[in-house]
Amino acid sequence: MDERFTGSFTQQEPIPEAGIEAALAVLRHGRLHRYNVTPGELSETALLEQEFAALTGARHALAVASGGYALGCALRAAGVAAGDRVLTNAFTLAPVPGAIAALGAEPVYVGVTPALTIDLDDLAAKAGSARVLLLSHMRGHICDMDRLMRICDAAGIAVIEDCAHTMGAAWKGVPSGRHGIIGCYSTQTYKHVNSGEGGFLVTDDPEIAARAVILSGSYMLYERHLAAPAPEVFERVKYVTPNVSGRMDNLRAAILRPQLRALPDQVARWNARYAVVEDALRDVPGLALVPREPGAAPVGSSFQFLLLDWAAERVREVLARCAARGVELKWFGSEEPVGFTSRYDSWRYAPAPPMPATDRVLAAILDMRLPLTFSPEDCAQIGRILRAEVSAVWQQG
């Protein structure tokens, strides 16, 4: 009888006991608002920002209400305004073009390669059409950042990195998010640290940092930040920067601080599980694994493979057969958005000229979460099921 996987693809690990204790302390004193502190007290959120800046090597860090808010705040702080065009990946999720469109700006989509990274040839061809690139390291796949920065620097393009899937990852030893002018991160439940919702942005630019703090809703309480620029920088921006409130609170910050300390160990655990699934799927006829750039040190918190040039009905059969055996896959080739999975041409608020090479890749992408509640043995079983079902459909011809 065929084996069936019984684990949950949406069940995360529990919050560490240290995080639970810290959260209880916040609940007991009741000062959840990040600026509600007693004399001499440092808020959990300010301490978290200081620790995240140290983790990434950034001069400044800001904790915010969500990863999507971080993107919008970063774009505003970088000076993007209504009517501007902003380059961004065609392979991405809705909050990324949504952050651009929310400013009245226009996403300009750049293609995706079979390595699931931004198409640098297409980027070079479109480099003259915008002054900002909002780069998604989608599903943790990191492109050749050296070449990307050469293209952008030569064209005068400012790079904002969406690192929702790459917190803890690096390119040639440089933490993800530290190549551009701003790095944005998510702490939503399915990301690498979990506060339900939340996010960060980091930058070395003091004026961008000051604008972001004011944007997030600091009012004139910016001196209560530990990872923000000096007061004189705020004097230059505080009266010309709108308040678009999106602060993180002390409860979520308390939950996150112990998780940040554990992040390197968690990254190693994810990558070990990714390797188990990858090994199980080597040399499966009709299935292409996703290559990693040699300079990338990724975080394997999700897994993708490609069924290039398969007919849609055969891909759907793979999905159905795997689901019947307890393995949940998402497909980026569906014409209609399903759950969190959508395509660049799903968002009707922005122009989406046809991109045949990108459409070919998107039609092939199958996507799967790898939560740390899965053991290596679970991952091996998932790999066996995927191998068997893809092979069975392939053999049908």
Q: What is the pLDDT of residues 224-253, one digit of tens each?
A: 999 999 999 999 999 999 999 999 999 999
Antiparallel, parallel or unpaired: β 132-136 and 85-89: parallel
pLDDT at residue 201 is higher than 70? yes
Contact of 293 with 117, CB cutoff 8 Å: yes
Cβ neighbors of 222 (< 8 A, separation 6 or more) are 210, 213, 214, 228, 231, 234, 238
Q: What pLDDT, on the 0 to 100 scale, is given for residue 343?
A: 86
- The SS3 assignment for 140 reads helix
Domain boundaries, the chain: 17-257, 263-395
User: How far is the first Cα of the chain from the last one, in angstroms, to the nearest whole number?
Assistant: 24
In the predicted model, is pLDDT for residue 397 greater than 80? Answer: no
Predicted pLDDT at 341: 82
Pairing of strands 174-175, 85-89: unpaired
What are residue 27's phi and psi, to 5 degrees? -65, -35
d(CA 307, CA 5): 22
Residue 334: the pLDDT is 85
**For residue range 345-379, what is the model confidence (pLDDT) as tens digits?**
988 898 999 999 999 999 999 999 999 999 999 99
What is the distance, to the nearest Å, from the Cα of residue 289 to the centroid of all Cα atoms in its chain? 21
> How many of the other CB atoms lie within 10 Å of CB of 235?
10
Average pLDDT value for the chain: 97
Q: Evaluate if residue 1 carries a pLDDT over 60.
A: no
Strand partners, 350: none
315-341: burial string, b at 16+ Cβ within 10 Å, e else? bebbbebbeebbbbbbbbbbeeeeeeb
Q: Kindly state the tokens that stand for 277.
A: 């699934």
* 134 within 8 A of 99, measured Cβ to Cβ: yes
Strand 158-162 and strand 182-186: the pairing is: parallel
CB count within 10 Å of CB 10 equals 10
Question: Is 133 in a helix, a strand, or coil?
Answer: strand
What is the strand order of the sheet 199-203 is part of? 60-64, 199-203, 182-186, 158-162, 132-136, 85-89, 106-110
What residue type is assigned to position 339 of the chain?
G
Architecture of domain 17-257: 3-Layer(aba) Sandwich (3.40)
In this prediction, residues 333-349 reach a mean pLDDT of 85
Which residues are CB-neighbours of 106 under 8 A, at least 6 positions away?
Answer: 83, 84, 85, 86, 100, 350, 351
Q: How confident is the model at residue 338 (pLDDT cuts 50, 70, 90)?
A: confident
Q: How many residues does the chain have?
A: 397
Lowest model confidence (mean pLDDT) among 83-87, 185-189, 328-332, 336-340: 336-340
Question: pLDDT of 9-62, one tens digit each?
Answer: 999 999 999 999 999 999 999 999 999 999 999 999 999 999 999 999 999 999
Q: What is the pLDDT of residue 318?
A: 98
User: If 0-12 CB within 10 Å is exposed, 13-18 middle and 19+ buried, where does residue 149 land?
Assistant: middle
Q: Are 379 and 328 in contact (CB under 8 A)?
A: no
For domain 263-395, the question of CATH label 3.90.1150.10 is answered with yes
CB 167, CB 191: distance < 8 Å: yes
Residue % of the chain over a pLDDT of 90: 95
Answer yes or no: are the C-beta atoms of 277 and 303 closer than 8 Å. Answer: yes
Q: What is the C-alpha separation between 72 and 108, in angstroms, rounded?
A: 16
H or E segment to which residue 306 belongs? strand 302-306
Question: Which residue is it, tokens 């050749």?
Answer: 144
The string of DSSP codes covering 5-18 is: ----TTPPPPPPHH
Q: Which two tokens stand for residue 143?
A: 């492109």
pTM confidence score: 0.97
Give the single-character DSSP code of 341: B
Please give the backbone phi and psi of residue 308, each rounded to the nearest 5 degrees, phi first. Answer: -65, 130
Q: What DSSP line would sit under 47-106, residue for residue? A: HHHHHHHHHHT-SEEEEES-HHHHHHHHHHHTT--TT-EEEEESS--THHHHHHHHTT-E
